[in-house]
Structure 1
């Protein structure tokens, strides 16, 4: 039997199987959270002309120290149509077009106005063009503003529009299927026998993956039966990714592997040297990928964070699909690690990180009160409080 794979090798093997989904062009507001499938190239120059960066007066630096005759106004969206000549000034507001002939903006705090007569009371800007947003100061037409694979957040939505584009080229969202399996699962949490637990993993996984999926379909709980599992897999022939929860271990009733073989899938790898989440399984049937997660809720959550979410991001064309750890000081002494790399549920309070007491892989209450995972390597040495440790922040609504 092959040894469990190291985390990074398993992640690399999974992402190497991901083929980005077809490109579609959607209104940029609908592309939020997705990834550019083509570089963003500016179709216009920003700003398209010289604009004022302050409220004040547009005039000629050659006429300093004044006085000036105010001949009109340039407001945002309402430019002054004429030219500024010797000894003349135009009242100007922030964002307004600089009138022809003017090469500086005198801030209103540095001037006094009596009727149409303007005089200098403070200091002119240094350099004279300091308060002008010059044409192309942000970007020029034809410039590449964002690369392929860049995530589209709120600022990127504004940039796409400012670049003169209404549609964003992105990958089609993932069609995901989730199969919750196990004889011990009860569909109705209010009618759960002593030998059962509520079926919660499917709902948890659907919630975790929703931002990257066009649809998430669920079946379950599916009983521990080879025929029932194959039938469930058959129901999702049009899915891009199928996620199973439970049945991926080595017990007599863990039937995911034989079910996948009967269904015609090829096992790519099984078991990763992490805790929780060792019995992770990856299989493939054609272009369809199957991610077999452990049945314990915490193991399922952690492996989904480390494998399933990066896979979905890769299918959507993300340049950097893997999560990044940050070095955060531990608020407590940390004991020496075991033989497997461990991801401990923890709480980050904005300064330090503290592990939760109950690290059992079935302890959902601990997970729900956590917003971070501390990454402890195999056979890690004891660490004193205050030592920075690698931490993954999880979007989990954890209570600090």
Structure 2
């Protein structure tokens, strides 16, 4: 099978990806960072009445010039409106957010009014019709769409939804991502290791990335290199309703790489399993019924690079949210040789440049089994297939891992 270009692989992985199932109804307190599944209409008008925007005095603008003395007729405060009608030659003391009395058409702020102590006040500047009054419905009106489907529910959106009188919201179901590490050599952190065993570290980074993209993660643990173990893990993923099954390791075609055989044996339609990229060439993609299968390489850098490139946008799409915009422009600080037919993702540092913009410095060691280098990296420097030699000062694209 020929090596598939990265962009073609991503397009195929994302094809048809969309939120599945009916929306969930969640209380407002549970909705942060969820995606609104349907348009949300206001259940009330706000403000429901003409309201004062300032502390001051409600007046009839036509009655008031600088120096006018008015009789104090009453008071209107938030939650305690003035029930009568403002009479000519009178004023009502009013506070921010309070209903404007019938008959009033302007507010004079308290700094421009002098109480005279005998039930009257002197207005020290002319009133302007409509000034400092918030008309009824100036914010939103009942029945109008306030938030559109697809909105990521941040603090502002949740506050707005509450103001529209919604106690609960329809949100897209989080995609379920099942993660399975494979290999006889793997043990969990904290377990005793034999002489030929290593820690199954990739699972935790991949799971963190999936959660960050909006997924609920199902940890399937570690499967030994036996068909029975892989079958049992697959049964578990299906029974738990996984939208995506991510396997780590074992997806190539070596004598001990059984994942692809196990999946196709259960009916998985294999899309591809080789990509023209480095690290991460042996990436497997397929579908088993409605469940998508993504087989990541076992080496840590390969696994994480593929997770950033393919799993993160897939999870985002399945959850109805946009994928993070990680690609930026930078300037190289080191020379790089020409590239072959595979697209390179070089771990590197990223720093502000002296003239603005970003500077990218590739790490000197790029072995895909080295974890500290990936942990230290702030970016992946992207080298397209057959790129000519690059010199320090050339522009490049980078995938930002962290600021």
Short-chain TM bin = 0.7 to 0.9
**Superposed displacement of residue 287, structure 1:** 0.9
SS for the counterpart of 1:142 is coil
Q: Does residue 1:103 correspond to 2:105, yes or no? A: yes
Matches of 1:337 and 1:119, distance apart in 2: 83
Q: Counterparts in 2 of 1:129-278, with a 5 A limit?
A: 129-189=130-190, 191-193=192-194, 195-210=196-211, 212-220=214-222, 222-238=223-239, 239-278=242-281
**2:285 aligned residue:** 282
| 3-state SS of paired residue (1:259) | helix
Matching residue of 1:315: 318
Q: CA deviation at 1:27?
A: 1.6
Is the Cα contact below 8 Å between 1:210 and 1:216 reproduced in 2?
A: no
Using the alignment, how far apart are the partners of 2:377 and 2:198 within structure 1?
A: 22
* Structure possessing the higher radius of gyration over alpha carbons: 2
SS in 2 for 1:33: coil
Equivalent in 355, 367, 378 of residue 374 of structure 2: 367
User: Does 2:21 match 1:22?
Assistant: yes
SS in 1 for 2:373: helix
Relative distance call for 1:55 and 1:333 in structure 2 (3 A) is farther
Partners of 1:386 and 1:101 in 2: CA distance = 70
Change in Cα spacing, 1:10 to 1:323, as seen in structure 2 (3 Å) is: farther
Number of residue pairs the alignment of both structures matches:
389
Q: Residues 213 and 83 of structure 1: is their aligned pair in 2 closer, same or farther, counting only changes over 3 Å?
A: same
Q: Is the 8 A contact 1:230 1:262 kept in 2?
A: no
SS in 2 for 1:272: coil
Shift of 1:229: 2.1
Q: Mark the runs of 5 or more structure 2 residues left unpaired by the alignment.
A: none
Aligned to 1:49: 49
Partner of 1:382: 390
Structure 2: distance between partners of 1:117 and 1:226: 92
C-alpha displacement of 1:206: 2.5
Query: Structure 2: how far apart are the matches of 1:55 and 1:303?
Result: 59
Tell me what 1:79 maps to: 81
What is the CA-CA distance between 1:335 and the residue it aligns to? 3.8
CA distance in 1, matches of 2:39, 2:111: 43
Q: Distance in 1 between matches of 2:122 and 2:381?
A: 64
Partner SS state of residue 235, structure 1: helix
Distance change (3 Å), C-alpha of 1:346 and 1:62? farther
Q: Give ranges in structure 1 of 5+ residues lacking alignment.
A: none
SS in 1 for 2:71: strand
The answer as to whether partners of 2:220 and 2:233 remain within 8 angstroms in 1 is: no
Partner residue, 2:343 = 341
Contact 2:280 2:306 in 1 (8 A): yes
Contact 2:334–2:362 at 8 Å: present in 1 too?
Answer: no
- Measured in 2, the distance between the counterparts of 1:291 and 1:266 equals 12
1:304 corresponds to which of 296, 303, 307: 307
Question: What TM-score comes out, normalization by structure 2 length?
Answer: 0.84
The TM-score, its normalising length taken from structure 1, stands at: 0.84
Distance 1:280 1:323, change over 3 A: farther
**1:209-241 Cα distance to aligned partner (Å, 9 max, x none):** 236344523221x22333432332223222222
